[in-house]
Amino acid sequence: MDRGDPALTFTNPVIFADVPDPDVVHDGRHYYMVSTTMYFAPSVPIMRSSDLVHWSIAGYTGPILDDTDALALRNGQNAYGQGSWAASLRFHEGTFYVSVGSLTTGRTYIYATPSIEHGPWTRSVLDGYAHDQSLLFDGDDTYLVYGGGAIDLRRLGRHDDGTFVWDGPATRLVEDANVDQTSGLDAEGAHAYKIGDHYYVFMIEWPTGGIRQEVVWRSRSLTPQSQGGTWEGRIVLSRAVLVQGRPGDGVAQGGVVRAADGQWYAMLFQDEGPLGRSPQLARVTWDEDGWPVYTLGATMTIPAGAPSAGATDLLVSDDFENQATPAGYWNTADAGALTASDENAWNGSSLGLPWQWNHNPDNRFWSLTDRPGHLRLTTGSIASSILDARNTLTQRTCGPASAAAISLDVSAMKDGDAAGLSAYQQKYGYVGVEMADGTRQLVMRRADRQGSVAFTSAPVPLTAETVLLRVDVDFRGAADRASFAYSLDGAAWTPIGDDLAMEYSLDHFTGYRFAIFCYATTETGGHVDVDWFRVGDDIPGTRP
């Protein structure tokens, strides 16, 4: 951003979608931001912006995080609420680095690339889970800074091929990282920097009966407290922002970034109910003693940079035209066994970057080439519900309200198959087609808080081979409702079932998504073809 450019006014949340645990860097051209999507694949999304306000997906660290039963919804296992947490992003000497820990695998991963968009990516796997870790480059030394309720430091070394290894045990820098707090969520979510004469560690805490707070610890050295090191901690932000009638629970957890004009900004997040955790952009200045001072409001004005390539492109329409070249995140120099199996290998089809699968996909059973211009989902395993169905394809919902629809060819479904469009979280709802005794019927189902079906609409017989399905979500005024409809002609929509009262569940720990699904309950081999996915004004016909 250039100080002489006209001001850019925006409304927080700067992205009204589920983009938690943000970390931002500037490489001199663009801003890049990493966030958490846990059990979704491709793994660890990275976004790009030219102005810190308008963002689009630039890439991922890899097609999957790792190949385990839990991450792949195999053998009765899942990674809901786990997967990868709170990644760190750094740009150092011309290379981008991403680190992330996984509760599912008990490992810590570090990725490196000269180009987020194109790769190649180098992948390092370290035994042991470093909670909410942050990369810290300090001269010739590289560290991870992490911890919950404390601040730990662990040095990293490198093999000759550039991959990282642990270099010695962890050192505890700060014994008790909580600031003016005796109970609640312990300080965590470290973002570590060397700025001027100080090392800074930005963290989040949540005192019982209070709101989330941003705290900062700093020291002039990396000497632990136990060895005489002087570390100071301070609460630097304790502020909630009202969003669409929903009182906030506090804005916190995120890093700082220095813009091209020398000004500083912070990207944090706040819970927005079932939508998820949405980024809030704040100005940061520094007082005379070197402590950060945050300016945060529902409406903000910052100097504007060059126009972004597009709006915040996290929910987009798609005609499922295939790109013959795999996305850059497939360009992984040392993937090894990660993509060696047919299940994980690239299948010749490339989806748009906003799409993520619920858990690792089985690439043998989906395609953009079997029927060009269509997404084909073939049942390759048996499932009991959408929660354990593989190859469920998702995009984020967006506030304050959004809608999605699909055109679904159901002519090749088999008995016991179910396919459709969902408002997806543990307490899911969907409109779909189910096949039994050689006949098809339309139904709407919704689950309870435990993910068990709590309501099924009266079935509607379906003789047509193609049907349009639609889901609308509304977060305005904390309505948190999803409604469902179908169309046979593309001109008018017929509501079906009742509304889903959406709720955020820590069992999944992610905001609601639009999800396209197809699963088998009795025999595999059936399939559906999705001609298109439309959002918002792109949806044909009148509103239901």
pLDDT value for 6: 63
Query: In this structure, what are the phi and psi dihedrals at residue 477, rounded to the nearest 5 degrees?
Result: 60, 25
Q: Is the predicted pLDDT of residue 1 greater than 80, yes or no?
A: no
More confident call, 356 vs 11: 356
Give the C-alpha separation, 204 to 249, whole Å. 13
Mean local confidence (pLDDT), 516-542: 97
pLDDT of residue 312: 61
* The pLDDT value given to residue 9: 86
CA pair distance 539, 444, nearest whole angstrom: 20
Q: How far apart are CA 495 and CA 243, in angstroms?
A: 29
Mean pLDDT of 388-392: 98
pLDDT at residue 3 tops 60: no
307 pLDDT band, cuts 50/70/90, is: very low
CA distance 523 to 526: 8
pLDDT of the residue at 310: 37
Per CATH, which fold does 328-538 belong to?
Jelly Rolls (2.60.120)
Please state, in angstroms and as integers, the Cα–Cα distance from residue 61 to each residue in 45, 118, 532, following that order: 7, 11, 27
In the chain, the percentage of residues whose pLDDT exceeds 70 is 96
- Scan for tokens 């010739």, then name that residue: 140
pLDDT for residue 339: 77
Give yes or no for a contact between 248 and 241, defined as CB atoms under 8 angstroms apart: yes
How far is it, in rounded angstroms, from Cα 35 to Cα 31? 13
Residue 199: beta bridge partners?
A: 194, 219
Neighbours of 16 (CB within 10 A): 25
Strands (E) in 27-64, as ranges, are 31-34, 40-41, 43-49, 56-62
Confidence (pLDDT) at 21: 97
Q: Which residues of 133-159 are buried (b: 16+ CB within 10 A; e: fewer)?
A: bbbbbeeeebbbbbbbbbbbbbbbeee
d(CA 247, CA 249): 7
Pairing state between β 141-146 and 134-138? antiparallel
Q: Which band of pLDDT confidence, cut at 50, 70 and 90, is reported for residue 454?
A: very high
How does pLDDT run across 466-484, given as a tens digit for each residue?
Answer: 999 999 999 999 999 999 9
Instruction: Assess whether pLDDT exceeds 90 at residue 294.
Output: yes
Q: Which residue has the tokens 């109970």?
A: 183
Q: What pLDDT shows up at residue 322? A: 97
> Do 30-254 and 328-538 share a fold?
no
Residue 308: pLDDT above 80?
A: no
- Sequence-ordered list of residues with C-beta below 8 angstroms from that of 227, at least 6 positions apart, any chain: none
Residue 5 confidence class, pLDDT cut points 50, 70, 90: low
Distance in angstroms (rounded) separating the CA atoms of residues 63 and 119: 12
- Judged against a pLDDT cut of 90, whether residue 302 lies above it is answered with no
The whole-angstrom separation of Cα 287 and Cα 310 is 35
Task: Please indicate whether residue 324 or residue 175 has the higher confidence score (pLDDT).
Answer: 175
What six digits make up the tokens of 424? 């997806």
The C-alpha atoms of residue 464 and residue 408 are separated, in whole angstroms, by: 11
Whether the predicted pLDDT of 236 surpasses 80: yes
**What DSSP element (H or E) covers 97?**
strand 95-102
CA distance 238 to 378: 49
Residue 294, H or E segment: strand 292-295
Domain ranges of the chain: 30-254, 328-538
Distances (CA, A) of 275 to 339, 401, 430, 536: 32, 10, 17, 17
Q: What is the pLDDT of residue 305?
A: 52
Question: If pLDDT is split at 50, 70 and 90, which confidence band does 544 have?
Answer: confident
Q: Is the pLDDT of residue 304 over 90?
A: no
Q: Using pLDDT thresholds of 50, 70 and 90, give the confidence band for residue 297.
A: confident
Amino acid at 480: D
Q: Can you state the percent helix, strand and coil of the chain, rounding each to 5?
A: 5, 45, 50
pLDDT above 80 for 323: yes
Q: How many CB atoms lie within 10 A of CB 94?
A: 7
- Asked if 278 and 47 touch (Cβ cutoff 8 Å), the reply is no
pLDDT tops 50 at residue 309:
no
pLDDT at 537 over 50: yes
Q: Is the pLDDT of residue 542 over 90?
A: no
pLDDT of residue 207: 96
Strands 56-62 and 84-92, sheet pairing: unpaired
Q: Which amino acid is at 536?
A: G
Please list, in sequence order, all residues whose beta carbon lies within 8 angstroms of the beta carbon of residue 182, skipping any fewer than 6 positions away. Answer: 207
pLDDT at 221 over 60: yes
**Tokens (6 digits) for 107:** 């490992």
How many C-beta atoms lie closer than 10 Å to residue 395's C-beta? 23
- Compute the distance between CA of residue 224 and CA of residue 79 in angstroms, rounded to an integer: 35
* Cβ–Cβ < 8 Å for 406, 421: yes
Q: Which long-range contacts (CB under 8 A, 24 or more apart) does 162-166 make?
A: 162/112, 162/122, 163/110, 163/122, 163/123, 163/124, 163/334, 164/110, 164/124, 164/126, 165/124, 165/126, 166/126, 166/127, 166/128
pLDDT bin (cut points 50, 70, 90) of residue 161 is: confident
Chain-wide mean pLDDT for the chain?
Answer: 94
Q: What CA–CA distance (Å, rounded) separates 168 from 315?
A: 44
User: Can you tell me the distance from the alpha carbon of 289 to that of 198, in angstroms, rounded to the nearest whole number?
Assistant: 11
- 334 pLDDT above the threshold of 90: no
Could you tell me the pLDDT band of residue 311, with boundaries at 50, 70 and 90? very low
CATH architecture of 30-254: 5 Propeller (2.115)
Q: How far apart are CA 434 and CA 442, in angstroms?
A: 7
- Residue 445: pLDDT band (50, 70, 90) is very high
